[in-house]
Amino acid sequence: MSTNEIYNPSNYSKKEQELVRLFYRQKRDAKLYFINYIKPRLDRSYKLYIADNTDRGREIKKWQANIAVPYIHAVVETLKPRILDARPDFSVQGRNEDDQNNANKIQSLCDYSWEVSEGDKVAELVTSSSLIYGMGYIQVGWKKDVRKGKFLKTNNLLDKKYEWKEEERTFYDGPFMEWVDNYSLWYDWHNIKEEEKQYWFKRLVLPKEVIKRRYPMADKKRLELAFNGGIGDLTNYGSVKMEVKDTHSKILKSNMSTTSSSPMTSVEYLYKNADSRMYEVFEWIRPFDDEYAVMVNNVPILKGASIPNPYDFKQSMFIGVPYLRVPGEYEGYGLPMILENPQIMLNMIKNQRLDAMTLNIHNMWIVNPLANIDKKELVARPFGIIYSPIPDGAREIRMSDIKPSAYKEEELLKGDMRYSSGVDDFSMGVGGGTPSATEVRHLRESTLERVRLFINHLGEAYSKVMRFYISMYRQFYSKEMIIRITGKDGEVKFPIIQKDDLEGEYDFKATVIPSIAGQNDIKKKQDMDLFQLLMNLPFIDLKKLTSKILYDWNWNVQAISKDENGQLNAGQGAEGVQSIGAEPVASSEDLNNLDPVSAQVVKNLSQETGKEIPPIEQMKTPVNLLQNGAPPTVPETTNPRGLNRSGKVNTNIPIKANSNPESNLENRVNNIQS
């Protein structure tokens, strides 16, 4: 084969000619839809999220302010850590009794696969894409990375001569999940449902060596023809990401802004002048035809041009995660699109206010042309004097000050944005007014409710990932595996997973547990009030009640319970508790190791004994009011009985205007009696 030979489908077969024609037709159809409908929305969403102001900079004068308020960025970054508070909780249930026996192994295998495939990193990228662009994409598959290289055999690195041995090693062999850039995925837009789309294109721009490693099953002759055909189309459809990196024009607030047409910021220019040549690559899958192909510079590089879908699940390996699902559309709707108009108005008000201040400081002048005044003198400066032979040669034009009502518009706009996004000020770390703990809790729960549907979308996608993982394990599993399983009781086991264990039918469910800041502290305070209300009721099991309350502190009631002889169970002592004789007590140092709430509980219950350090058993038993009188209370308290006997549990936490709401909340939690 000549090194300059160019690929021609007519040199192979009519079937391959039809395949190439179909590729061009479907790619053109998907590209037109992407360029005209998807890309403009992605660009707008990205600019709003990143608080880009280059578009306005092209339209304004140099003296005008060009500020973009990062409100949308704050909303997205407020929701993201709440959604990603913990990794998904995978649950696997067997369809019958035999399958249920292996369900724990399958569930632990999913946890292990999530870990080795760096699922936490992918989850963060997918969540960001969903919140910003309205849609995030996950690609799943099986990867086997086998490389040949020279490995060091010398054990002592101080030796003057090293011994190397060439070996072939497997660096990765298992399922993978990766984030797919929204600018890289084109698809059949005629069919709305994901499972009904007839074709998918994943577009990449890669160097030669990466292509060889990424597609080891490629035909060498076809791959060489692809490399001989030039570099292909290297258009960077996500060029907006490069444009906003030009921050110099933002600082100068100049109307001469750099655009993507500049050769210095063009990714195409960088690609073409790189040391390693780049090539356009398409991963093309047609689920209905059960065909999979890889096109490099429009050349099919697999043997026979295309192959059947290599995975037994026979579906597209791309999984979409929408933020807000719109009826009749596959693409979701993200937060920047929801908040676009209020954000533009907020930026406009901010810039107008700054422009008004600038005009008020640097006033205009009415100048008599016969006054012979230099323009350079008409600049505001301390104790400046302008000399003119004509008395009225120069007069300053005073601008009116900004009215107080102008500042109300900003708050009204932010209120509209809070209604649209569902993210309140307290969730964003901004306190306002003097709301009670109940009001704060309801506000944060409303924030949680607004994103709960999106959390369900994430759970559905991760459940699908689990099903695909187990399907690929059944298909490519070659040897038994030993993994670690931690039971609910904390016991660690190392079972052997064999290929037979993967057979069967299972129900997969992935639960994403969000977190709202401050909810745990409020819940602990309410738990303590409820404990005081119920502890003396005759039909209440105190041990069960204590167990429920300690759950929010991540404590186990068994760890602080006595055995039949009145001693703490061996190996189950609470943190910071020592056994001294028959009476277990806590030392001062141990109390310092406890969290503030638990330490305060121990101190409050010690009032009756008069001891500086109380017996730990008093945390377990209720106070006998008939024998000992009133229960122990904090000195100088406004509640001498120590209980909420009025029939109402006071969960209101007043917040002073000059105090941080979280610190007030912590103080009230620490003081359990007031």
Over residues 303-339, the pLDDT tens digits come to 999 999 999 999 999 999 999 999 999 999 999 999 9
Do the beta carbons of residue 602 and residue 614 sit within 8 Å?
yes
Q: What DSSP designation does 662 have?
A: H
The answer on pLDDT for 70 being more than 80 is: yes
CA-based nearest residue to 450, from 120, 131, 139: 131
Q: Which residues contact 557 (CB under 8 A, 6 or more apart)?
A: 543, 546, 547, 550
User: The tokens of 556 are what?
Assistant: 């186990």
Cα 130 from Cα 86, distance rounded (Å): 18
Cα 202 from Cα 219, distance rounded (Å): 20
Instruction: Give the model's confidence band at 1: pLDDT under 50 very low, under 70 low, under 90 confident, else very high.
Output: very low
Cα 204 from Cα 42, distance rounded (Å): 18
The residues pairing with 485 across neighbouring beta strands, listed in sequence order, are 493
Higher pLDDT, 142 or 409: 142
- In this prediction, residues 365-376 reach a mean pLDDT of 84
Instruction: Give the model's confidence band at 372: pLDDT under 50 very low, under 70 low, under 90 confident, else very high.
Output: confident
- In this prediction, residues 85-108 reach a mean pLDDT of 83
Cα 255 from Cα 250, distance rounded (Å): 9
The residues pairing with 136 across neighbouring beta strands, listed in sequence order, are 321
Cα 270 from Cα 207, distance rounded (Å): 13
Beta-sheet strand order (sheet of 200-207)? 185-187, 200-207, 278-286, 291-296, 299-300
CA-based nearest residue to 173, from 456, 472, 543, 373: 472
Percent of the chain with pLDDT over 90: 27
The residues pairing with 481 across neighbouring beta strands, listed in sequence order, are 497
User: The tokens of 262 are what?
Assistant: 């500049």
Helices (H), 301-430: 335-338, 340-361, 405-421
Average pLDDT, the chain: 77
- In this prediction, residues 188-212 reach a mean pLDDT of 93
Burial class (CB in 10 A: 0-12, 13-18, 19+), 522: buried
* pLDDT, position 275: 60
Percent of the chain with pLDDT over 70: 71
The half-sphere exposure of 229 on its side-chain side, counting CA atoms within 13 A, is: 22
* pLDDT, position 255: 43
Instruction: Give the model's confidence band at 247: pLDDT under 50 very low, under 70 low, under 90 confident, else very high.
Output: low
Higher pLDDT, 242 or 464: 464
* pLDDT, position 366: 85
Do the beta carbons of residue 45 and residue 336 sit within 8 Å?
yes
Which of 72-76, 325-329, 548-552 has the weakest average pLDDT?
Answer: 548-552
User: The tokens of 647 are what?
Assistant: 């029939």
User: The tokens of 14 are what?
Assistant: 């009519």
Instruction: Give the model's confidence band at 547: pLDDT under 50 very low, under 70 low, under 90 confident, else very high.
Output: confident
* pLDDT, position 667: 63
* pLDDT, position 356: 85
For every residue of 356-376, DSSP letters joined together read HHHHHHS-EEEE-TTS---GG
Contacts 24+ apart (CB under 8 A), 628-635: 632/604, 632/605, 632/606, 632/607, 632/608, 633/604, 633/607, 633/673, 634/604, 634/671, 634/673, 634/674
What φ, ψ does residue 280 adopt, rounded to 5°?
Answer: -80, 130
CA-based nearest residue to 301, from 378, 251, 232: 232
Do the beta carbons of residue 76 and residue 335 sit within 8 Å?
yes
* pLDDT, position 626: 46
Q: How many CB atoms lie within 10 A of CB 158?
A: 5
Instruction: Choose from 190-199, 439-448, 556-565, 657-666 the range with maximum mean pLDDT.
Output: 190-199
Instruction: Give the model's confidence band at 482: pLDDT under 50 very low, under 70 low, under 90 confident, else very high.
Output: confident
Please state the separation of Cα 149 from the chain's center in Å. Answer: 37
- In this prediction, residues 232-241 reach a mean pLDDT of 86
Please state the separation of Cα 341 from the chain's center in Å. Answer: 25
Which of 174-178, 200-204, 267-271 has the weakest average pLDDT?
Answer: 267-271
Rounded alpha-carbon distances, angstroms, from residue 411 to 209, 346, 422, 440, 446:
55, 9, 16, 19, 20
Q: What's the alpha-carbon Rg for the chain, to the nearest Å?
A: 34
Do the beta carbons of residue 123 and residue 177 sit within 8 Å?
no
Q: What DSSP designation does 560 have?
A: G
- In this prediction, residues 666-672 reach a mean pLDDT of 59
Q: Which residue has the tokens 């490399």?
A: 227
* pLDDT, position 130: 95
- In this prediction, residues 69-73 reach a mean pLDDT of 90
* pLDDT, position 418: 79
Q: What DSSP designation does 559 have?
A: G
Residues in the chain: 674
